[in-house]
Structure 1
């Protein structure tokens, strides 16, 4: 992984796409975004994507939508498995949430796999609140339940 190279958070570039595709597959082996979806999301929301970089490779990314009626969605937060639990997800989310505030977002929504306790704990610590009623069954299709969470900015 990053070895002795310092990690930094920076805005995404088009050259990052192959690395993000690989990172997404590593982080979400049972349901990564297809290449073409990531391609279009990066094109549509390039100003709302941050990456964790050591100068040679990427180790994390976060992607959100532009505010629509003052509401944004975090579409993905991924950290390479070997660097999870080191605060990189928090750093990415904090930077992104600050940007969303400046762009006029008043609330931010996201969905998370209901058994992903570490992600849910991170989101709660940032102020996200689960939607009433608990996880939504089959939100992403049969057997793909998701917990929806909202942060009021």
Structure 2
């Protein structure tokens, strides 16, 4: 178990050299039927290099976040995970803050994500950083678990969208 915290991490854009470590975190974090294959991770890196970020501590990747921009203004966070040995230390929150900053710079007005209804820790984090729960999608995940779709309007854009 590591004693480091989120503020010990360097957040940077992922590179192809990070894919093996990101894939390991995928395998440690998700059901085997929900793990993104390496080829899909490489695809996301190729289409969204600015929004595929990793958290690195001492040269080791401890977490990642992947987002894509839809319709030119929706930042869709498609995956986020932290190595189980580094959870509860602020790395997930730091990744979310950095991806939000990046998506805002790239012109996004809204952030969107899906989260397992049963993942209370993640849901609470997203609520704490300003996301709202919008609706449920039944049987979204492989094991039949429902998803909660969450959104966050970015502050500078609220007046133009509401």
TM-score normalised by L of structure 2: 0.84
Give SS of 2:76's match: strand
2:146 is equivalent to residue 145 of structure 1: yes
Structure 1 stretches of 4+ moved >6 Å? none
Give SS of 1:95's match: helix
Unaligned runs of 5+ in 1: none
Aligned residue pairs total 150
Unaligned runs of 5+ in 2: 155-162
| 1:68 CA displacement | 2.2
1:113 maps to: 116
Alignment of 1:122-133 (within 5 A): 122-132=125-135
Aligned partners of 1:91 and 1:142: how far apart in 2? 29
Aligned 8 A contact 1:65 1:72 in 2: yes
Aligned 8 A contact 1:67 1:103 in 2: no
| 1:145 CA displacement | 1.7
1:58 maps to: 61
Computed over aligned residues only, the root mean square deviation of the Cα atoms, in angstroms, reads: 1.9
2:52 maps to: 49
TM-superposition CA deviations, 1:69-108 (whole Å, max 9, x none): 3111001110011111111111111011011111110101
Q: 1:142 to 1:56 in 2, by over 3 A?
A: closer
